[in-house]
């Protein structure tokens, strides 16, 4: 089939745009990540004198870095529409966020849609695969205090012990509030067949759009972070705000990410922007932690039920293009998540100015010493 001149031009434009975006992303990383590290090295005396202020500043810088990642998708037209409960109502409380996992772009989507949720981004902890430690962003996550979990049955018990120790050491000392994890333990395409075989063997529901979650990390987080007594109430406006407590995990936020036509965005697409503008849909449901069972068998059933519900949500979305309305309501209400282009430009400018400042400083020191 012959390629027309118009088609060739579109392909050429897409390739050029992808190349320019990739060059910008590399430059962005080369100035932003070293600047983050250098700022925190310079602030080590403050960490000794006033650790609370130090981690506050670190959190602000961390949020800006995540906003830069979000901007790559935002400027490519990869936007987010939110459904379900309004998580802003619990943004100042401690919460565990359970997310389905389809592709590397899921993390980027979360980085984007949580930007406008108050202090959440700078005070959150991520649980992620240990491979992420060796990426360009790995040093940032190490400093921030995220936990890298090694997958596989042979590592499972040891990893859960390490997770418990990590939470006890870093979660409260760094004033973390939200902890994000992907209970499926891997991407949908990699785990679906194994999960379906396990479900068939154990007379569990057949799931197509999600996989059966693993219990370990969820159980450790609940045991470690939940206070002895919790008084959380179902989500919704003033009721939520009145029940806030200063310490202890109070909420579980069940988060479901859906992509049009079940075609997830991966990190390469997010960076290069060669896909047409896409709206990703994110559904939230908030549960008071007091309603989450503590016993392993009951917790397993509760967690399975959440992912069975995710399956139903995604099935409805792929059939209709929208999530179903909450029980007792006739219409589901969506909210378009927005970012300020001016703010994104400001933090990008700060990153490049910081990179230039550090370069000049090291040049000056080099000439002074040599």
Helix boundaries (H) for the chain: 5-42, 44-49, 51-74, 105-113, 138-144, 153-166, 188-201, 216-225, 237-242, 267-272, 296-320, 341-369
C-alpha span between 144 and 148 (Å, rounded): 12
* Chain-centre distance for alpha carbon 228: 28
Find tokens 């979990």 and name the residue. 149
Q: Domain residues of the chain, as ranges? A: 5-227+247-369
**What token pair was written down for 288?**
């008071």
pLDDT tens per residue, the chain (370 residues)? 566 777 778 878 889 888 999 999 999 999 999 999 999 999 999 999 999 999 999 999 999 999 999 999 999 999 999 999 999 999 999 999 999 999 999 999 999 999 999 889 999 999 988 888 888 889 999 999 999 988 777 778 899 999 999 999 999 999 999 999 999 988 998 889 999 999 999 999 999 999 999 999 999 999 999 976 544 444 444 444 444 444 699 999 999 999 999 999 999 999 999 899 999 999 999 999 999 998 999 999 999 999 999 999 999 999 999 999 888 788 888 999 999 999 999 999 999 999 999 999 999 888 888 7
- Lookup: tokens for 190: 């990699």
CA–CA dist 227, 232 (Å, integer): 11
What's this model's pTM, rounded to 2 decimal places?
Answer: 0.89
- How far is C-alpha 135 from the chain's CA centre? 16
Tell me whether residue 101 is exposed, middle or buried, using C-beta atoms within 10 angstroms of its C-beta: 0 to 12, 13 to 18, 19 or more.
buried
d(CA 191, CA 37): 36
CA 149 to chain centroid, in Å, comes to 15
- Give the SS3 label for residue 255: strand
| d(C-alpha 40, C-alpha 37), whole Å | 5
CB 293 within 8 A of CB 299: yes
């Amino acid at each position: 089939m012959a390629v027309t001149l118009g088609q060739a031009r579109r392909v050429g434009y897409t390739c050029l745009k992808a190349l320019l975006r990739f060059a910008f992303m590399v430059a962005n990383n080369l100035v932003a990540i070293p600047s983050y590290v250098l700022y925190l090295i310079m602030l080590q005396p403050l960490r000794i004198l006033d650790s609370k202020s130090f981690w506050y500043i670190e959190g602000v810088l961390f949020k800006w870095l995540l906003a830069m990642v979000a901007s790559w998708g935002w400027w490519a037209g990869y936007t987010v529409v939110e459904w379900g409960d309004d998580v802003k109502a619990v943004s100042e409380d401690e919460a565990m966020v359970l997310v389905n996992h389809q592709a590397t772009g899921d993390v980027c989507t979360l980085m984007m849609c949580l930007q406008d949720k108050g202090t959440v981004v700078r005070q959150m902890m991520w649980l992620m695969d240990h491979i992420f430690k060796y990426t360009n962003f790995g040093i940032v996550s190490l400093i921030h205090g995220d936990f890298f979990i090694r997958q596989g049955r042979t590592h499972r018990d040891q990893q859960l012990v390490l997770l418990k120790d990590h939470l006890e050491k870093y979660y409260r000392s760094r004033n973390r509030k939200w902890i994000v994890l992907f209970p499926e333990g891997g991407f949908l395409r990699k785990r679906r067949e194994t999960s379906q075989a396990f479900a068939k063997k154990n007379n569990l529901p057949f799931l197509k759009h999600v996989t059966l979650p693993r219990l370990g990390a969820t159980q450790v987080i609940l045991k470690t972070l939940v206070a002895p007594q919790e008084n959380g109430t179902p989500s919704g406006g003033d009721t939520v705000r009145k029940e806030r407590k200063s310490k202890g995990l109070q909420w579980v936020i069940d988060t479901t990410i859906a992509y049009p036509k079940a075609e997830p965005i991966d990190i390469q697409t997010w960076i290069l922007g060669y896909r047409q503008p896409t709206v990703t849909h994110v559904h939230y449901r908030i549960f008071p932690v007091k309603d989450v069972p503590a016993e392993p068998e009951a917790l397993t059933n509760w967690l399975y039920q959440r992912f069975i519900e995710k399956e139903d949500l995604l099935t409805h979305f792929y059939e209709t293009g929208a999530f179903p309305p909450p029980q007792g309501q006739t219409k589901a209400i969506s909210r378009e998540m927005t970012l300020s282009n001016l703010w994104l430009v400001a933090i990008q400018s700060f990153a490049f100015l910081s990179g230039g400042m550090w370069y000049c400083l090291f040049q000056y020191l080099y000439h002074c010493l040599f």
